[in-house]
């Protein structure tokens, strides 16, 4: 047994305006949960939530069975119910439809549901995350997240990329050693992955173009609104692609993702009161700034004492992004502040062929990537300089030994990207169950 009709289907059919599918006057059965109830004289209203949408149900004493009228008086928020009624156009109801109830069954009760329409603080809501996800805003954010993921996969699948999953347990540090999660189980030292990139490089040499879509772990010591300790990243890697190619790919991906959300998740964006014109402005080409140009701006405007050669702070990223109406690439970061695998710029080895994509409106870095070092000698030197254990990189160095070619890729943080598209200030709301320095439950 499974539901044959969802609230979303009702609205979808109506949007498509197909006569055969039009729902006015149809009798339908729905199952779901009570979102809200109210009475106006003898007429009673309830908002039914089934996970796909919210539909207003109306109980008129002359149409609705007396048992249903009696059940209504017992309903509390989040009681599970089954209803049957006739659909009618109702321009003032959510979605433009209402269900005139004939019958109703109470499937299960929900006494003292802790999240009420009144304001709650973030700590309380995070403790109630397993229930909070039923609320309208959280529901909209997580649906948009799902759309971002599906659009991303479609983008790569349609271009013939192979989905190539990297392992979660790994002996290799990829993004420095300061935020590694150690795992005690294996004989060797093991960590939770910080990035699938090194394995994607192996994949690119085997399949030409691959992507990893998986969880990523960073033992972040700081609490910021942009950092999770567990987040999801999509990491494409392409053989014979250079930095410029990598930026074009990232630009195409972002345009595709934003377009899909605008097409399929407009009601959610509206529920979040997102300024949609800001998303509609996301069109190619995105501006590209060399690090030196970005640094020159920040030396004048930074509020965090930025100096040429330093990495950007969150505030710095916001200043740079505020100059543009669409995402902006900063490329060519100094070698001294970048990971060991970054290819040095042949015209000036103190800079790398790296790039970050900064989201507009202060949402920070959503993509990081660039071209990889393809020379085995340079890599061996860098591994030493970064204090990494060369023994665990033997397999990685083989990729440079056997048919090494230029290649590039990037990582897009799913939650950062979702936070920007939703206009949500804190990434903790863009993942079903956030993991942060002080948050492991629920």
Q: Which residues of the chain form contacts with Mg ion (CB under 5 A)?
A: 368
Q: Judged by CB under 6 A, which stretch of 15-23, 202-210, 228-236, 380-388 contacts ligand 4AD? A: 228-236
Task: Strand 364-371: give its sheet, edge to edge.
Answer: 162-163, 209-217, 230-239, 407-413, 364-371, 354-359, 328-331, 288-290
- Residue 416 in the binding site for ligand 4AD (CB under 6 A): yes
Q: Do residues 170 and 193 lie in contact, with contact meaning Cβ atoms separated by under 8 Å?
A: yes
- Residue 228 in the binding site for ligand 4AD (CB under 6 A): yes
Distance (Å, rounded) from C-alpha 342 to C-alpha 408?
9
Our CB check for ligand 4AD shows the closer of 78 and 200 to be: 200
Q: Judged by CB under 6 A, which stretch of 12-20, 299-307, 344-352, 366-374 contacts ligand 4AD? A: 366-374
Q: Which residues of 107-132 are buried (b: 16+ CB within 10 A; e: fewer)?
A: eeeeeeeebeeeebeeeebbbbbebb
Radius of gyration of the chain measured on its C-alpha atoms: 26
- Residue 409 in the binding site for ligand 4AD (CB under 6 A): yes
Binding at 174: pick from ligand 4AD, Mg ion, none (beta carbon under 5-8 Å per type): ligand 4AD
- Residue 342 in the binding site for ligand 4AD (CB under 6 A): no
Point out the residue whose Cβ comes nearest to Mg ion.
368
CA-based diameter of the chain, in Å?
85
Q: Do residues 178 and 194 lie in contact, with contact meaning Cβ atoms separated by under 8 Å?
A: no
Binding mask 154-193 for ligand 4AD (x = CB under 6 A): --------------------xx------------------
Distance (Å, rounded) from C-alpha 211 to C-alpha 230?
19
Residue 166 backbone phi and psi in degrees, to 5: -85, 155
Residue 38 backbone phi and psi in degrees, to 5: -160, 160
- Residue 366 in the binding site for ligand 4AD (CB under 6 A): yes
Binding at 248: pick from Mg ion, ligand 4AD, none (beta carbon under 5-8 Å per type): none
Distance (Å, rounded) from C-alpha 165 to C-alpha 234?
10
- Residue 217 in the binding site for ligand 4AD (CB under 6 A): no
Q: Pick from 172, 197, 352, 418 the residue near ligand 4AD by CB under 6 A.
A: 197
Our CB check for ligand 4AD shows the closer of 48 and 294 to be: 294
Our CB check for ligand 4AD shows the closer of 28 and 219 to be: 219
Binding at 367: pick from ligand 4AD, Mg ion, none (beta carbon under 5-8 Å per type): ligand 4AD
- Residue 195 in the binding site for ligand 4AD (CB under 6 A): yes
How many residues touch ligand 4AD under the rule CB under 6 A: the total is 23
CA distance from start to end of the chain: 30
Q: Pick from 85, 332, 413, 434 the residue near ligand 4AD by CB under 6 A.
A: 413
Residue 348 backbone phi and psi in degrees, to 5: -165, 95
- Residue 235 in the binding site for ligand 4AD (CB under 6 A): yes
- Residue 46 in the binding site for ligand 4AD (CB under 6 A): no
- In this structure, what is the dihedral angle of CA atoms 69, 70, 71, 72, given to the nearest 10 degrees? 50
Q: Do residues 368 and 410 lie in contact, with contact meaning Cβ atoms separated by under 8 Å?
A: yes
**At its nearest, how many Å lie between ligand 4AD and the CB of residue 43?**
48
Distance (Å, rounded) from C-alpha 197 to C-alpha 165?
10
Q: Which residues bind ligand 4AD (CB under 6 A)?
A: 174-175, 195, 197, 218, 220, 227-228, 231, 233, 235, 365-369, 409-411, 413, 415-416, 427
């Amino acid at each position: 047994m499974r539901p044959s009709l969802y609230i979303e289907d009702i609205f979808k059919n109506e949007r498509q305006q197909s006569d055969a599918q039009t729902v006015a006057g149809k009798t339908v059965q729905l199952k779901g949960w009570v979102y809200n109830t109210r009475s106006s004289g003898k007429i009673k209203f309830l908002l039914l939530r089934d996970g796909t949408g919210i539909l207003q149900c109306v109980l008129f004493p002359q149409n609705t069975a007396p048992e249903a009228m009696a059940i209504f008086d017992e309903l509390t928020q989040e009681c599970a119910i089954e209803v049957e009624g006739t659909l009618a156009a109702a321009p003032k109801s959510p979605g433009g439809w209402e269900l005139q109830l004939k019958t109703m069954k109470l499937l299960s009760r929900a006494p003292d549901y802790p999240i009420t329409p009144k304001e709650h603080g973030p700590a309380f809501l995070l403790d109630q995350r397993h229930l909070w996800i039923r609320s309208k805003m959280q529901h909209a954010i997580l649906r948009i997240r799902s759309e971002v993921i599906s659009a991303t996969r479609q983008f790569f699948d349609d271009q013939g990329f192979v989905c190539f999953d990297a392992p979660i347990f790994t002996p290799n540090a990829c993004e420095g050693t300061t935020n590694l999660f150690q795992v005690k189980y294996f004989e060797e030292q093991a960590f939770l992955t910080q990035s699938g990139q090194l394995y994607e490089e192996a994949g690119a040499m085997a399949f030409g173009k691959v992507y990893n879509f998986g969880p990523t772990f960073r033992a972040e010591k700081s609490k910021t609104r942009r950092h999770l300790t567990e987040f999801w990243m999509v990491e494409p890697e392409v053989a014979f692609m250079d930095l410029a190619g990598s930026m074009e790919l990232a630009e195409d991906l972002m345009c595709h993702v934003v377009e899909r959300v605008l097409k399929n998740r407009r009601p959610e964006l509206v529920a979040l009161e997102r300024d949609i014109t800001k998303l509609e402005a996301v069109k190619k080409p995105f501006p590209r700034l060399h690090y030196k140009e970005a640094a020159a701006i920040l030396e004048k405007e930074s509020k965090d004492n930025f100096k040429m050669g330093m990495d950007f702070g969150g505030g710095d990223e916001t200043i740079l992004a505020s100059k543009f109406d669409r995402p902006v690439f900063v490329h060519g970061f100094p070698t001294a502040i970048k990971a060991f695998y970054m290819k040095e710029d042949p015209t000036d080895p103190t800079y790398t062929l790296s790039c970050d994509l900064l989201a507009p409106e202060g949402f920070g870095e959503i993509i990081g990537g660039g071209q990889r070092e393809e020379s085995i000698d340079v890599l061996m030197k860098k591994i030493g300089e970064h204090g990494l254990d060369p023994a665990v990189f033997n397999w990685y160095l083989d990729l440079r030994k056997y048919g090494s070619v230029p290649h590039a890729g990037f990582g897009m943080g799913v939650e950062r990207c979702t936070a920007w598209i939703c206009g949500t200030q804190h990434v903790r709301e863009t993942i079903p169950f956030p993991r942060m320095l002080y948050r492991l439950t629920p």
